[in-house]
Structure formats: C-alpha cells, structure tokens
Amino acid sequence: MSFKLPKLFYSYKDFEPYIDRKTMNIHYNKHHANYTNNLNKAILNTNMINFSITKILKIAHVESPIIRNNSGGFYNHNLFWEILIPNIKYVHPSSDLNDILNKNFNSFDSFKETFSKVAANHFGSGWVWLCVKEEKLTICSTGNQDNPLMCGMGCEGVPILGLDLWEHAYYLQYQNRRLDYISSFWKIVNWIQVEENYKKAMKK
C-alpha cells in the first residue's frame, strides 16, 4: 500500500484573503507532496508498507527520523486540509460542540484565546492541536511534524483540529506576523468536520 495526497474539495484561491493562492499551491503540491513521496520511499520493502498511517505514527519514535518526520507531515497535513472550509458563512460550532467547548474551556471565546496563545508562544516550526484525551478536550503543541498520536510527545490524545505553524504555511503573505495568521485561521475553520472528528475520537 502506498499513501496518496488527499483530494482537495476547493481551489487554491478559495481561502483568499485569509490564505493566498500561491501559498496554498506550494503548501499542497510541494510540501505535502514531498512528505507523501518520502514516506512511501521510506516504508518501501518494509513491513510498514501494509500499516495504516496511525499505526506508523505510533511506532515512528523508534523508527528512523525520516519515517517520523514524513509520516507526521503526511498525517498532519491531511487533517489540516479537512478542517478548512472556504467562503465560510458558519463561523461558530454547532450548539452541541459549543456546549462541549464550554464544558472544557468555559466558553468558545476562551477556547479560541487559549488555542491562539499556545500557537503564538510556540517557538519555531510545529503544530498546535485540539485533542480528545480521556473524553476531555486538551490543547497542546508539538515541534516539527510530530503529533499527539506519537509516543512521548508530552502532547497526547486524538487530534481533531490542528494549525500548521511552519513558516511555509503563511510566510509569503504574513511574513513574521504569525498573530495575524492565527487570527485569520478562525475565519476558515470547518466546525462541522471538527465535530465529526470529535465524535470519531470519542468512539475510540
């Protein structure tokens, strides 16, 4: 089995003015494609060729750095693309998801503030995550292409929402203004998908 880039159900320009089309194109066709291709090369002729991506992630810390970096890069970007939605008119979670966020973070605004603060304070490249852990929601960040499904990250759980903090995700448009990029992210989140991810995570 080889891994493939997911099909995007939107065009590169659909997220403007929040993410420019050139960044989307390069991010998907260069960075994500490279992680995918390098992962397939790394697992070729190994028993991991028949593993799911989540199974690979769970053993990535004892494998080579190539497998760790590229399996994370493949998975992380798959999640990132699916929790974005263009031309958004629905900027808040459903009442059910909002109640869950309220239970865990007191309010939707408090959740966004906490998530944004973790993202802003993360040093260097990485990701910030909203995870389900022991039926509770947690926010944490990982460096490079690591993610909460890997062992020993200090950030455990099943990720249901993630924000890419690598410069390739925003630098062409925002340069060093990471806070502006984080603020724009909230305008294109697909909360319906996040809720679906939450329901799946709760069943595991």
pLDDT in tens, 18-60: 999 999 999 999 999 999 999 999 999 999 999 999 999 999 9
For residue range 54-105, what is the model confidence (pLDDT) as tens digits? 999 999 998 899 999 999 999 999 999 999 998 766 578 999 999 999 999 9
In a domain, 15, yes or no: no
Structural domains of the chain, count: 1
Banded model confidence at residue 15, pLDDT cuts 50, 70, 90: very high
The fraction of the chain above a pLDDT of 90, given in percent, is 93
In a domain, 2, yes or no: no
Q: pTM here?
A: 0.96
Taking 70 as the threshold, does the pLDDT of residue 1 lie above it?
A: no
What value does the mean pLDDT take over residues 166-190? 97
In a domain, 105, yes or no: yes
Residue 142's beta-bridge partner residues?
127
Residue with tokens 């004892």: 62
Q: Rounded mean pLDDT of the chain?
A: 95
In a domain, 9, yes or no: no
CB of 25 closer than 8 Å to CB of 13: no
In a domain, 152, yes or no: yes
In a domain, 40, yes or no: yes
What value does the mean pLDDT take over residues 128-139? 97
In a domain, 12, yes or no: no
For residue range 142-153, what is the model confidence (pLDDT) as tens digits? 999 999 999 999
Query: For position 49, which CATH number holds?
Result: 3.55.40.20
Which pLDDT belongs to residue 88?
A: 67
In a domain, 10, yes or no: no
What value does the mean pLDDT take over residues 182-196? 96
Q: How many of the other CB atoms lie within 10 Å of CB of 127?
A: 28
Domain that holds residue 101: 20-204
